[in-house]
Amino acid sequence: MSQPYVIDELISAKAIAARIEELCREIKKTYSDTEKLVVVGLLRGSFVFIADLVRELDMNVEVDFLETSSYGDSMVSSREVRILKDLRGEIEGHDVLVVEDIVDTGHTLSHVLKLLQSRNPRKLETIALLDKPSRRETDIRATWTGFEIPDEFVVGYGIDYAQRNRNLPFIGCVRFT
C-alpha cells in the first residue's frame, strides 16, 4: 500500500476551462487551412484534456491515440519510453496535433515526435496541458502550453498517481502526510 497523502489544488477546473478556450482559438488559427486535423492523444494522462480540447475545436477533427509508458506506478520517469499502443490510422500528409498531459523531462514527447515525424505528416505541432521546464532533460517544448508549473508531483484532470486521482476536475499537488 502506498503512503498516505493529501492533494492541494494547484489549478482550478474553471481556470483549465478558460485556458482551453484560449488555446483552441490559437490552434484554429494555425490550422485554418486544414481539411482535417488529426489529434493524437498520448494515453492515459491526456484523455480528459483531449475530450475538452476537441469539443472546443470548431473544425473537422479525427482523434487517435498512442499509449506510452515511462513512469509505471512511480513518481519519477524511468527515461525509457515504451510504445504500448500505436496509432490506428495513417498520418502521412495530414495535419497532426499531439496532445500531452505534462512535459516533464521531455523524453516521452521527444520520442513520440521522432516516431510521428518519420511517418511524414504535413504539419506536426504539440500541445501540453502542463509544462515543468525545471525538470527538462531534452531540448523540447510544446507548441502550446496550458500552464507552467513548479517541480511538484501533480494529479487530477486525467493525470494519475498509481492509477488514482484521474477523476479530479482540477490539477492538484500530491503532498505526503
Residues carrying an active site annotation: 104
Q: Which of 172, 110, 117, 114 is nearest to 147 (CA)?
A: 172
Pairing status of strand 123-131 against strand 37-43: unpaired
C-alpha cell at 143: 507548441
Query: Which residues have CB under 8 Å from 79's CB, separation 6+?
Result: 70, 105, 107, 137
Distance CA 49, CA 99 (A): 8
Which segments of 75-147 does DSSP mark as H helices, in order?
107-117
